[in-house]
Structure 1
Amino acid sequence: MFYVVNIVFLNKALLVMREKFLSFLKNRLTATKEIDQNLTIFGIFLIIAYPGFYLINSLFVTPEGYENLSLRISIGLLGGILCLRRFWAEQFKKLVPIYMYLLLIYALPFFFFFMLFHNPTSNLWQLNTLVGLFLLFLFVSWVDAIILTLVGYAAAYYTSFLVFRDAQLPPDFFKLLIIYISPLVYISLFSNQKEYIQKEKQKSLRMQAGAIAHEMRTPLAAIRHMATGLKMHLPTLITAQQNLQEKDESIPYINDAILEPLKLIPTELERVSRSAFTVIDTLLLNLQDAPSKIVLEKCSILDCVETSLQAYSLTDEEKDLILLEIVENFELQTNPHLLKHVFFNLLKNSLHYVKAAGKGRIFIWTEKGEKFNRLHFKDTGKGIPPSILPYIFNQFYSRTDHGTGVGLAFCKMVLQKSGGDITCESVEGEFTHFTLSFPVVNE
Structure 2
Amino acid sequence: MESIIKFFDPDKAIVLAFLIITLIVGIIAGRDIKNIKDYTIANKSYSTPVLALTLLATMIGGGTTTGDTAQFFQDGLVYLIPSLAIPIAIFLAAKYIAPKFDNRFDGMISVSDIIKYFYGVKAEVFSGLVGYAVCLGVLGVQFTALGSLMASFLSINYSTAIYTACSLIVCYSTFGGIKSVTMTDVLQFAILIVVIPLVASVAITEVGGLAKVFSNPNLTYHFHILSHPKFDEYIALFLFMVIPLVIFQPHLIQRYLMAQNHNQLSRITYIYSFLSFALIFIVVCMAFSALKLFPNIEPKAVIPTIIDNLLPPFMKGVAISGMIAVIMSTADSSLNSAGILIAHNVFPEKYFNTEIGKLNLMKVSTLITGALGIFISLQNYNIVSLLVITSLLLVSSIGIPLLFGLLKFKVSKESFWVCNLVSIMSFLVTEAIGLQDFSIPIIIALLGFIGFISTHIIQNRCIAFVGSKVPDKKKNIKFNNMQLVKIISKYLPTPKNIYQYSNDKVKRYGANYLMFGIFCCINYVVPYFMWTYQEPTHYLIMLELRIFAGMLCVGLLMKDYWPEKLKHYFPLYWHFTLMYCLPFVTTVMLIILEAHYEWLINLTLSIMLLTMLVDWLSFILISLAGMLFGFLFYELVIGDAILPADFETIYLSIYVCLFASLIGILFARPKELNSEEKLEAMQLFGGAIAHEVKTPLATINMGAQYISLLAQKVMDKKQAISSIAEKDNALKALQETCILLKKASIEGISTVDRLLTSLKAMVIAQDKDEYSIKECLEETIKDFMVSTESLGKVNINIENDIIFYGSKHYIKHVLYNLFSNALKHGGSNVEIDIWSEDHKLYFKDYGKGISKEDLPHIFERFYTKSSKGTGIGLSFCKMVMEEMGGALECRSELGKYTEFILKFA
Into which bin does the TM-score normalised by the smaller protein fall? 0.5 to 0.7
The structure 1 residue matched to 2:755, chosen from 283, 291, 304, is 283
Whether the 8 Å CA contact 1:282–1:344 is kept in 2: the answer is no
Q: Aligned to 2:47, what secondary structure does the other structure show? A: helix
Partner of 2:891: 425
Q: Which amino acid aligns with 1:301?
A: I
Partner of 1:337: 809
How far off is 1:342 after superposition?
1.4
Give runs of aligned pairs for residues 218-367 of structure 1, distance below 5 A: 251=723, 267-291=739-763, 295-313=767-785, 318-355=790-827, 360-367=830-837
How far off is 1:432 after superposition?
1.5
How far off is 1:263 after superposition?
7.1
The structure 2 residue matched to 1:75, chosen from 230, 238, 246, is 246
- TM-score, normalising length: structure 1: 0.56
Q: Which amino acid aligns with 1:418?
A: M
Structure 1 pair 404–181 and aligned structure 2 pair: CA distance change class (3 A): same
The structure 2 residue matched to 1:95, chosen from 258, 268, 282, is 258
Structure 1 pair 293–182 and aligned structure 2 pair: CA distance change class (3 A): farther
Output one character per residue of 1:186-238: Cα deviation in whole Å (capped at 9) or x when no partner.
3232233111221244456668888999999999999999x9x9xxxxxxxxx
Structure 1 pair 194–208 and aligned structure 2 pair: CA distance change class (3 A): same
The structure 2 residue matched to 1:194, chosen from 666, 673, 677, is 673
Gaps of 5+ in 2: 1-27, 53-93, 103-225, 288-321, 331-646, 708-720
Whether the 8 Å CA contact 2:859–2:874 is kept in 1: the answer is yes
Q: Which amino acid aligns with 1:415?
A: M
How far off is 1:393 after superposition?
1.5
Partners in 2 of 1:283 and 1:332 — Cα distance? 25
Partners in 2 of 1:326 and 1:252 — Cα distance? 52
Partner of 1:141: none
Which structure exhibits the higher relative contact order, with contacts defined as CA atoms closer than 8 Å and separated by 6 or more residues?
2
Partners in 2 of 1:38 and 1:293 — Cα distance? 37
How far off is 1:399 after superposition?
2.3
Structure 1 pair 419–16 and aligned structure 2 pair: CA distance change class (3 A): farther
Partners in 2 of 1:424 and 1:364 — Cα distance? 14
Partners in 2 of 1:345 and 1:42 — Cα distance? 26
Partners in 2 of 1:106 and 1:75 — Cα distance? 16
* Higher strand proportion: 1
Structure 1 pair 101–194 and aligned structure 2 pair: CA distance change class (3 A): closer
Q: Which amino acid aligns with 1:77?
A: F
Give runs of aligned pairs for residues 395-410 of structure 1, distance below 5 A: 395-410=861-876
Partners in 2 of 1:29 and 1:38 — Cα distance? 17
- TM-score, normalising length: structure 2: 0.30
Whether the 8 Å CA contact 1:210–1:284 is kept in 2: the answer is no
Asked if residue 62 in structure 1 is aligned to residue 232 in structure 2, the reply is yes
Partner of 2:309: none
Gaps of 5+ in 1: 1-6, 44-56, 86-91, 123-150, 160-170, 230-244
Q: Which amino acid aligns with 1:312?
A: F
Partners in 1 of 2:803 and 2:882 — Cα distance? 17
Query: How many positions carry a matched residue from both structures?
Result: 336
Asked if residue 25 in structure 1 is aligned to residue 503 in structure 2, the reply is no
Larger radius of gyration: 2
How far off is 1:264 after superposition?
5.8
Output one character per residue of 1:39-96: Cα deviation in whole Å (capped at 9) or x when no partner.
33589xxxxxxxxxxxxx9xxx8344995878977624249996xx9xxxxxx99723
Whether the 8 Å CA contact 2:832–2:843 is kept in 1: the answer is yes
Q: Which amino acid aligns with 1:322?
A: V
Q: Which amino acid aligns with 2:773?
A: I
Structure 1 pair 277–75 and aligned structure 2 pair: CA distance change class (3 A): same
Partner of 2:851: 385
* Higher helix proportion: 2
Whether the 8 Å CA contact 1:275–1:312 is kept in 2: the answer is no
Partner of 1:415: 881
Q: Aligned to 1:77, what secondary structure does the other structure show? A: coil
Give runs of aligned pairs for residues 151-166 of structure 1, distance below 5 A: 155=326
Partners in 1 of 2:50 and 2:697 — Cα distance? 40
Q: Aligned to 1:319, what secondary structure does the other structure show? A: coil
Partner of 2:663: 185
Whether the 8 Å CA contact 1:354–1:360 is kept in 2: the answer is yes
Whether the 8 Å CA contact 1:67–1:115 is kept in 2: the answer is no
Output one character per residue of 1:285-318: Cα deviation in whole Å (capped at 9) or x when no partner.
1123324666421111100111111111267863
Partners in 1 of 2:889 and 2:32 — Cα distance? 25
Partners in 2 of 1:203 and 1:103 — Cα distance? 27
Partners in 2 of 1:212 and 1:25 — Cα distance? 35
Whether the 8 Å CA contact 1:322–1:361 is kept in 2: the answer is yes
Partners in 2 of 1:217 and 1:27 — Cα distance? 46
Whether the 8 Å CA contact 1:374–1:438 is kept in 2: the answer is yes
Q: Aligned to 2:795, what secondary structure does the other structure show? A: strand
How far off is 1:27 after superposition?
10
Partners in 1 of 2:49 and 2:730 — Cα distance? 59
Structure 1 pair 289–107 and aligned structure 2 pair: CA distance change class (3 A): closer
Whether the 8 Å CA contact 1:333–1:418 is kept in 2: the answer is yes
Q: Compare 390-399 and 95-104 and name the one that shifted more.
A: 95-104
The structure 2 residue matched to 1:104, chosen from 269, 274, 292, is 269
Q: Which amino acid aligns with 1:337?
A: H
How far off is 1:262 after superposition?
8.3
Whether the 8 Å CA contact 2:765–2:807 is kept in 1: the answer is no
Structure 1 pair 42–290 and aligned structure 2 pair: CA distance change class (3 A): closer
Partner of 2:358: none
How far off is 1:119 after superposition?
5.8
Partner of 2:489: none
Output one character per residue of 1:396-442: Cα deviation in whole Å (capped at 9) or x when no partner.
22222011111112112211221212121222222211111111xxx
Output one character per residue of 1:354-396: Cα deviation in whole Å (capped at 9) or x when no partner.
11xx87412211112xxxx211111111112222222221222
Q: Which amino acid aligns with 2:670?
A: S
Structure 1 pair 70–209 and aligned structure 2 pair: CA distance change class (3 A): closer
Q: Aligned to 1:310, what secondary structure does the other structure show? A: helix
